[in-house]
Structure formats: C-alpha cells, structure tokens
Homo-oligomer: A and B are copies of this chain.
Amino acid sequence: MTITQLKYVLAVAEYQNFTVASEHCFVTQPTLSMQIQKLEDQLETKIFNRNKKPIQLTEIGEKIVEQAKIIVDESNRINDIVDQQKGFIGGDFKLGIIPTIMPTLLPIFLKSFIKKYPKINLKIEELTTEEIIKKLSDGHIDVAIAATPLENESIKERVLYYEPFVGFIPSEHRLSNIKELDVENLNIDDILLLEDGHCFKENVINLCSTLGSKNQNFQLQSGSFDTLIKLSKEGLGMTLLPYLQTLDLNDNDKKYLKEFKKPAPAREVSLIYHKSHLKIHLIDALKDSIDGLIRGVIAFNNVKIISPLQKKGA
C-alpha cells in the first residue's frame, strides 16, 4: 500500500470518475485504474462500485476513504513539520475569502504580506462561506477569512477583528435626522440587502430582531454594496454597510453614513482553518500580518457581535 494509491482513491471518491480523477492526479487514466485495482487486490475488497453511474463507493470503500483522508493529511503534514522546524515560511498557500470582506480587507494586508513572505505562493479565491467550509475540509484551500462564529466542529477560528455595521441613510429617509442609529429603529422591510448566499445578509437579518417577512414591492438581487448604495440614494430604502466598506466612499456619500449607538453591532471576522492544523505556521504568519495592519484601521472595543448563521426554523 502506498500513499500515492490512497491519493488516487481519494481523487476518484471526490470526482466520482476515473478519468477526471486521473487528470487531477497528473497521471493517465490507466495508471490510476491499475493502482486502484492493485490496492483493491491487496485489501481483498472492492472500494468502488463501478456498475453505478456515477461511480459509487462500496460500504467498505466509505470507511477506507475516511481512513485514507487521515493518512494523506498526516503525511502532507510531514513537509509542514520540516518547514516549521527549519523556520521556513513558504510553499503553496491557498486562501479563500468571502465576497463582502475580500475587496476591503485584501488591499490592507496583501502587499505587505507578499513582501514579507516572498517564498509563500499565495493563491486567493473569492468564495461563499458554504464553499469555504467544503473546500477547507477537502483540502482545496488551506485557510479562509469569513464572518464567524460558524459553530462547525471541524473548523478552528481565530478572530482577526470586529467590524461594526454602519447605516447608509438617504436624506429623505425617516431616520435621516436622528443622531445615532439604534437597533430598535431598524425595520427589516426598508433595508436593502445583498443577494442570497452572502452571509452579510444573514448578519443583517439576525440584527433586526423583528422577523418581519421582507414585505417589499420589489425583489433585489445584488452582490455589490455599490449597487445597494446607488439604489438607496434613489430613495428605495436605507442599507447597512460593514465599516471597512465605508472608508472607500467619496466625501459626498459619506454624509449619508450614520453610526450605531455603542455598543455598535458588528460582525466577527476570523481566520478559519481545518482542525488538522495543516500549514499552521503559514496561518500564523498570515494572522500576524493582518493583526499588525488592521489595528491602525479598525477599533476593537465596545461592539456587540451579530452571528452570521441562518436562524433555524421560523
């Protein structure tokens, strides 16, 4: 039994197709087929049921894949251990970031990070929280930045900062004259929200205690705060922005911003990674980098954390 064979098994289990799996393993399909057959021979059991389309794991196969994941993970970690022991900070490092954090946070730390760690080959992907959780557990990304807490057992979280919500309230809006926003004033029905899939939308919904059923005479599907701001200025309602987003506004738009009364509602933004601690030293480096820079931009104190999780039931 070799680690290579186990990797092949994992690839087939993942892509449910020998040919596709072989491409991802950078070998030809016969090579992969043969190796899997050899492993099956040696274990004297079938791992895959090739009769079903798409291909399926046998009952024993399920268990073998589970165990193979452990072995492959643990063997990947050997390189990490050597690197860490040598004090070497480098190698491939795949980072996922949710869309509502990506454009504002990335400019703050990216340049400094790649300069400080030139040997890290950083690959950044914009992903939803849901995609992140999946890709973290199958090892397609090493770490991610998302709104927390996620309450997921297999994922570790390390808080980077708390980002307050800021109101964007057009001039004719009923709240435009008050001095400070209060959660009590909010009405979910006149707040413009991002499209489904963004956890920031869930944050806002959780913030508004009234579970009012979004009773608007229009449906909005936008993935960008820019659109929300434009629509808001057209008089279609107020909206809420994450603090970092407000720093990019032009001076005119900034006039419409209204802060919350302390403690301001905020989302928790964290580095999250798989509990197996793969590449933990790179994660440490990333956290240090962001920590050092974010302090100059955002205050940490006197906030009230709003969960990004979808409320169940209701």
Tell me the complex Cα distance, A78–B82, Å: 26
CB pair B86–A60 under 8 Å, yes or no, is yes
CB pair B45–A75 under 8 Å, yes or no, is no
What are the 5 closest A-B residue pairs judged by CB atoms, nearest first?
A60-B85, A71-B74, A43-B82, A63-B81, A70-B74
* Chain B proximity mask over A102-124: 1 for CB below 8 Å, otherwise 0: 00000000000000000000000
* Chain B proximity mask over A72-85: 1 for CB below 8 Å, otherwise 0: 00110111011001
**Which among B1, B3, B59, B81 is the interface contact of A64 at CB below 8 angstroms?**
B81
Q: Please, which residues of chain B bring their CB within 8 A of the CB of A85?
A: 45, 59-60, 63
Question: Are A60 and B74 also in contact (CB < 8 A) when A2-B2, A3-B1 are?
Answer: no
**Which among B43, B44, B59, B78 is the interface contact of A1 at CB below 8 angstroms?**
B78
Tell me the complex Cα distance, A85–B85, Å: 39
CB pair B75–A1 under 8 Å, yes or no, is yes
Q: List 10 A-B contacts (CB under 8 A).
A: A3-B3, A43-B82, A44-B82, A45-B85, A60-B82, A63-B81, A63-B82, A63-B85, A67-B74, A71-B78
Counted per complex, copies of this chain come to: 2
CB pair A67–B81 under 8 Å, yes or no, is yes
Q: Please, which residues of chain B bring their CB within 8 A of the CB of A86?
A: 45, 60
Q: Please, which residues of chain B bring their CB within 8 A of the CB of A3?
A: 1-3
Tell me the complex Cα distance, A85–B81, Å: 33
Q: Please, which residues of chain B bring their CB within 8 A of the CB of A95?
A: none
Q: Please, which residues of chain B bring their CB within 8 A of the CB of A64?
A: 78, 81-82
Residue of B with least CB distance to A66: B81
Q: Please, which residues of chain B bring their CB within 8 A of the CB of A44?
A: 82
The yes or no answer to A68 lying at the interface (CB within 8 A) is yes
Within 8 A of B (CB), among A42-72: 43-45, 59-60, 63-64, 67-68, 70-71
CB distance from A311 to the nearest CB of B (A): 39
